[in-house]
Structure 1
Amino acid sequence: MKTVAVIDRFSDQDTAVILVESVQKEFVVKQAELPQEAKPNDYLDVEIIGQTLRIIGINHEETSSRKTSIQDKMAKLRAKNSGVSRRRR
C-alpha cells in the first residue's frame, strides 16, 4: 500500500520515528534508510508491505503544503491573540 508518512523525530540511537496517519501506525527505521537530506517534519512517499515500511523518497510537495498550512494557522492564532490582548488592557 503506497501512502505518505511524516518524520516525527530522530532518536539518539540513529533511528527515526515515522508516523503513517492513514493507518495510524508508527515505524522506527534506521536514519541511514532515509534520504540523506531528510529531516523531522518532512513528508515521505512510502509503501507498507506487511509490517515493513519501504521509503520511496521525500514528498516535497506535501511537505511544503503542510508547512504552509501550519504557518497560516499560526498567523490566524497570532492575529486572534493580539486582538484579545488589546481588549484586556
Structure 2
Amino acid sequence: MKRDGLIRTERNPRNRRFVNVLLTDKGREVLMHAMLIAREIVDQVMSSINEDDALLLEKTLRALRQNAHQGLECVAKRS
C-alpha cells in the first residue's frame, strides 16, 4: 500500500519505537470509493428484508458478537 501511494509512515513523536501509518489523499479516495461499493452491496443484500427483520438481524448479530467476545475472554483467562 505504501508503494502504491495509499499510505505513508512516520515515527511516532512521543515514542520513536512506534510507527504511525497514515492515509494519503490517494488512500482516502480509494477508501471512499470502497465504502461506496460496500454500501451498494449491503443495500442489495438487504433489499428484500423489511425494517423489522433488519432490526432483529442487527440485534441478533450484536448478541452473537458479544457472546463471541465473552467466549474469547474466557479462553484467554484459561491460557
Q: TM-score, normalised by structure 1?
A: 0.39
Q: Please tell me whether Structure 1 or Structure 2 has the larger radius of gyration of its CA atoms.
A: 2
Q: Which structure has more RCO (C-alpha within 8 Å, separation ≥ 6)?
A: 1
Q: TM-score, normalised by structure 2?
A: 0.43
Richer in helix (by share): 2
